[in-house]
Amino acid sequence: MSLRVKFWLILVLTVVTAVLAYPREDKILHAIGLKKASLHVQQGLDLQGGAHLVFQADLAKTAPADRSKAMDSLIDVIQKRANPSGTSEISVQRQGSDRVIVELPGVKDVNDAIDRIGRTAKLLFLEIPPSTSGTPQPIDTGIGGKDVDRADPDFDTQTSQPVVRLTIKSDARSKFGDLTTKIHNENGQLVTLLDNQVVFGPATVSQPITDGNAQLSGNFKSIGDARKIAQEITAGALPVPINLVEERTVGPTLGLESIQKSLVAGIIGLLVVAIFMVSYYRLAGLLAVAALLIYTLITLTLYKLSALTPYSIVLTLAGTAGFILSIGMAVDANILIFERMKEELRSGKSFVAAVEAGFDRAWTSIRDSNASTLITCFILYFFSGASPIIKGFAITLGLGVLVSLFTSVVISRTFLRLIIRTNLGRQPSAYGLRTNEATR
Amino acid sequence: MNIIRLRRWWYAISLIIIVPGTISLFTHGLRLGIDFQGGQLLEVQGRVAQSEIQSKADQLKLKDLSVTPAGDNSLIRYRDEAAPKQQQSDHLALSSQLAASHHKEVRYETVGPSVSRDITRNAIVSVALAALAIVLYISFAFRNIPPPMTSWNFGVAAIIAMLHDALLLLGVFSLLGAFFKVEVDSLFVTAVLTVIGFSVHDTIVVFDRIRENLRRERGEFEAVVNRSILETLARSLNTSLTVLLTLLALYLFGGESIKLFILALLVGIASGTYSSIFNASPLLVSYYRYQQQRALNPKRAPA
């Protein structure tokens, strides 16, 4: 590839990444006809505020063979409870053999969410036989939450009171029909409990229910109350008891403050590095700063684009530190190359030869030294358990190292090759050398 | 400038800095945060005095209460050994009392004993794995070392420099824990690993040059090492300077909750720069001298 083509490709890359990395990229994309395109850097809970909850299942009473299945249904139930509408960005994930991680971005009342998720929600239908002598004993009918397909809040057509409508699963309809027919004929009573709280009855059954549509008219205070109960019933009972073993909740103000501070720190860090590079390496330093800016644009674009894939990069506070640290490391490759170039120039090589030798000789150092940082990132990512803080740091630092390899080896090199064709680029002072230190 | 000739001075400076921290590490250890010990942590706005909440904490049977400032906020740590449900209401009781005196809660963390055990195990496993992987990598990267050295010598010297940095960092944080109640958390482990990675990163650049120079000419070994250090000195200092400058920007202007993490990186990377220039390569020479003396005079144990 000729130098000219490379230069134009870098220019195109710069423009594209600059557009994508721009915070209001949707406006620009809209203007050029790409509608509905909106990208964002996915922020971790410590930046946007929210709760990271870890629940541990108590599997002591579950047979080892059934544990995996129990965990699957547990996650299903928690998913339905934490995210009943299925629309918000709530995530429920399994961790290890017996834990479930629930991430609730922007949650307002964490304790309410914990209660909602941790409820057993066992639904029971009990039959109370007609009293012949003494207090009647309720009998478990064997019908429960597992037989309910869905529950919806509604208003009773006659009394206008809030109620919960139940739809019985088709395979349990005849069983439910038989039960209600029996209670109706014997003139007994039916009572429905949710976690030992009465949600219906005890009341007589005026008519056998054979179509599977039952109604719980259990003194709900409001429609909201009925909705809550309906959601609990729809989500189903927890297959195994769970306990909250870890909680990390960050309020939105702290997160916002962290973002602003990191942004300021990042800009100052970038500026200081830029000033240092230009004052020490002059024209070459300026090229390194340009490469560094392109590096920043590429990295931000990758963060944003990753959100479109299943492997989205979540930016945490430690992640921003990893990113800013990688700015410092990104210039390392440039420094290695420039120092090498200066040596070659001092030894009397021509500018063209010095650029090539600088890159070739510096390459093994760049490769070997970055490999050790990449190994660390790799281990941090895969062996740090489920900690989103550490993973966030590892991914941003690791990605930073990889992108900086590209920008320093490909972009800086192209810039340098171009600059030595110009008169300005053939001055020793352009590289921070004294005039007598190099031959022209 | 002859860095090699002054090597005993460089070793002495390292020892002077490392020994106090190491003594503290063995006597006090590190002050472990809730990640490793389990417990609760609350961050509230404004400065809270421990006396303000001590009676409430006693009433709720919260153990090991401590309050430390963090920027404009305060960090409150305690250990609640009640059942999870009760812990939740204890937390609410404490935070509503704080809210009543205008200390709004901005962060709350609770880590159960089973989780903290896992975090500790993961930390140990990842540090051990990283060290192992780096050792393997060094022996791979430094195969084909020209005589008089072997790749094994290079590997050991790089590892000693790496241990130097890790020990210094742990020692400094042990002292900070003993005097300023500074606790270590999972992020600290991350910092240790990053420092290990950086330390080796820095050492490799110098070693790479030594290898190159050894291949090119057959000079006095010490002179070759010294020239290699000097040739890479500008790069080592400039790189460390840019990394330290960015870290300094983060330390001064970044978020409060990563301040200690950044401090750990600052200490570790400064140490990494020192050890790669003044320890790793001089150690190669010390070992070379030791071998030569032993070859000349097998009976007398040389210094």
- Express each pLDDT in B197-254 by its tens digit: 888 888 888 888 888 888 887 778 888 889 899 888 888 888 888 889 889 988 998 8
Phi, psi for residue B184 in degrees, rounded to 5? -105, 145
B-chain CB neighbours of A395 within 8 Å are none
Buried b (16+ CB within 10 A) or exposed e, A214-246: bebbbebeeeeebbbbbbbbbbbbbbbebebbb
| Burial degree of A422 (CB within 10 A; 0-12, 13-18, 19+) | exposed
| CB-CB under 8 Å, A273 with B245 | yes
DSSP, residue by residue, A63-125? -GGGHHHHHHHHHHHHHHHH-TTS-S--EEEEETTTEEEEEEET-S-HHHHHHHHH----EEE
Shortest alpha-carbon distance between residue B248 and chain A (Å): 8
Res A403: pLDDT: 92
Average pLDDT, chain B: 86
Contact A246 B241 (CB under 8 A): no
Mean pLDDT score, B275-280: 89
Tokens of B127: 């540090």
Pair A316, A392: CB distance under 8 Å: yes
Give the pLDDT score at A132: 64
Q: In chain B, what residues touch A58 (CB-CB under 8 Å)?
A: none
Which of A340, A376, A382, A405 to probe by mutation at the B interface, max B CB count within 10 Å?
A376
Q: Is A353 helix (H, G, I), strand (E, B) or coil?
A: helix
CB distance B106–A244 less than 8 Å? no
H/E/C letters for each residue in B214-235?
Answer: HHHCCCCHHHHHHHHHHHHHHH
Label residue B24 by pLDDT band (50, 70, 90). very high
Rounded CA separation A218/A165 (Å): 11
Is residue B272 scored above 80 in pLDDT? yes
- Cβ–Cβ gap A254/B209 under 8 Å: no
- Ordered DSSP codes for chain B: --TTTTHHHHHHHHHHHHHHHHHHHHHT---B-HHHH-EEEEEEES---HHHHHHHHHHTT-EEEEEEEETTEEEEEEE--S-HHHHHHHHHHHHHHHHHTT--EEEEEEE-HHHHHHHHHHHHHHHHHHHHHHHHHHHHHT-SPPTT--HHHHHHHHHHHHHHHHHHHHHHHHHHHHHH-PPB-HHHHHHHHHHHHHHHHHHHHHHHHHHHHHHH----HHHHHHHHHHHHHHHHHHHHHHHHHHHHHHHHHS-GGGHHHHHHHHHHHHHHHHHIIIIIHHHHHHHHHHHHHHHH-SSSPP-
Which of A327, A343, A375 has the highest number of chain B CBs within 10 A, making it the mutation to test binding with B?
A375
Tokens 């083509």, located at residue: A5
Three-state secondary structure call for residue A220: coil
Assigned token pair, B10: 């460089």
Contacts of B248 in chain A (CB under 8 A): 272
Interval B171-202: pLDDT, tens:
999 999 999 888 898 888 888 888 888 888 88
DSSP of A167-207: EE-GGGHHHHHHHHHHHHHHT-EEEEEETTEEEEEEE--SS
Note the pLDDT of residue B235.
84
Q: Say if residue B303's pLDDT is above 60.
A: no
Interface test with A, best of B37, B137, B239, B246 (most A CBs within 10 A): B246
| Cross-chain Cβ contact B208/A364 below 8 Å | yes
- The pLDDT value recorded for residue A323 is 84
DSSP state of A37: -
Note the pLDDT of residue B129.
85
Contacts of A114 in chain B (CB under 8 A): 88
> Which tokens sit at B209?
């040059």
Residues of chain B with Cβ-Cβ distance to A390 below 8 Å are 186-187, 189-190
Residue-level pLDDT at B148: 73
- Residue bearing tokens 């800009």: A267
**Half-sphere exposure of residue A391: CA atoms within 13 angstroms, side-chain side:** 12
Check residues A325 and B275 and name the one with the higher pLDDT: B275
Residue in B201, B253, B265 closest to A369 by CB = B201
Cβ atoms within 10 Å of B56's Cβ, excluding its own: 16
In the prediction, which pLDDT does B170 show?
94
Which residue shows structure tokens 């420092």?
B195
Q: What is the model's pTM?
A: 0.82
3-state class (DSSP) for residue A43: strand
- Distance, in Å, from the CA atom of A362 to the CA atom of A204, rounded to the nearest integer, reads 88
How many other CB atoms are there within 10 angstroms of residue A185's CB atom? 10
Q: What are the two backbone dihedrals, phi and then psi, of residue A98, each rounded to the nearest 5 degrees?
A: -140, 20
**Residue-by-residue pLDDT tens, chain A, 440 positions:** 788 888 888 898 888 888 888 777 777 777 776 665 667 778 888 888 889 999 998 888 888 888 888 888 888 888 888 877 766 778 888 888 889 999 888 888 888 888 888 877 777 777 777 766 666 677 777 777 777 777 788 888 777 788 888 788 778 777 778 777 877 777 777 787 777 777 777 777 777 777 777 777 767 777 877 787 777 777 777 888 888 899 999 888 888 888 888 888 888 988 998 999 899 888 888 988 999 899 989 998 898 888 888 777 888 888 887 887 788 777 888 888 888 888 888 888 888 888 888 888 888 888 887 888 888 888 888 877 667 777 888 888 899 989 988 888 888 888 888 888 887 777 777 777 776 666 54
Select from A265, A343, A372 the Cβ nearest to the Cβ of B201. Answer: A372
